[in-house]
Structure 1
């Protein structure tokens, strides 16, 4: 991990956080399985810090079949009870059941739109939004767009995806580039956005 690069201050000096910042956050995603992973992790994060979830990510991948939405959609009460004893994940029944529910809803959107990515990226006309924030203070927790997407997901039966969680999801998956202008990844993600297609 490089230490001399100027990064967004939120990742601090934690190696795992910096690696996530450097290689994932803000890079536009169109792979459905990875999008489902971020949906699941962001909904699990609600009320907790993101670094807590990152540190449990490998455990989540194991517990939730590498976030294969078909496999997760088949989880029943037996799997829920097993997951509630798994110390490697957030043992919250409502969040676990929401993830299983969301897998069903995710598959429905795949079926109706051809892919979840197509559904998702239609909200920004297929192109990542490029913000130009100079300080963390100007980065919002929600936007009118995250409100709209959250409402649409809820209308379709998704759970634990309020506007704040949805905006964090949008940032993570590159729907918006919220790297600060001073951060070396801002231009990297802008370049990825120029080449991005769904």
Structure 2
């Protein structure tokens, strides 16, 4: 979904720190954040990027997202799973991304886990959405102060991801990911996107 007028939501967005006047951040909020994502590969890509965000602001990752996609071959799990030492060295030398051995290793390992899940008949999208029975959790939060850093559901999903071997999937990271991919709708009720996103949910 796109917003033709870049100023269409001015004054009617979630009150994210640093977003006002930042065109990249505003566009992300207006067109992507909270939109229910059902594609397995896209869900995994966002989980990897949220893992890279650990300790950083999301806008940092957003600015580097194109570089990440180029560096990680479009986040194709089949390709990333085959990365070896030369690829690790290449990624660590890439100033366009966040250079962290632990996070790069987690991304590569995550691709292999993704493929193992698929090969045993466990679709990643179905897995991600199984915790809410395929439905979006429709929250009605009035202010940023009402939004928690994590929830019991995020703790549950985090434990399930860790049990499969994923790294950088603590409950705070997982909750940010759940918000971003629309498993939960945490647009504020005063935000014009709240009802738009709600209408996109299946069922």
Distance 1:85 1:28 in 2: 34
Name whichever structure is richer in helix by fraction.
1
Distance 2:120 2:158 in 1: 18
TM-score normalised according to structure 1 size: 0.95
CA-to-partner distance for each residue in 1:74-118, whole Å, 9 max, x for gaps?
Answer: 001110011100000001110000000111111222233442100
Distance 1:136 1:92 in 2: 30
Contact 1:131 1:178 in 2 (8 A): yes
User: Within the alignment, does 1:72 sit opposite 2:74 as a pair?
Assistant: no
1:97-112 correspondence to structure 2 within 5 Å: 97-112=105-120
Range moving further from structure 2, 6-15 or 94-103: 6-15
> What is the count of residue pairs matched by the alignment?
195
Runs of 4 or more, structure 1, over 6 Å off, are: none
1:175-194 correspondence to structure 2 within 5 Å: 175-193=183-201
Which sections of structure 1, spanning at least 5 residues, go unmatched? none
Deviation at 1:36, TM superposition (A): 1.4
1:1-198 correspondence to structure 2 within 5 Å: 1-5=5-9, 6-10=12-16, 11-193=19-201, 196=202
Which sections of structure 2, spanning at least 5 residues, go unmatched? none
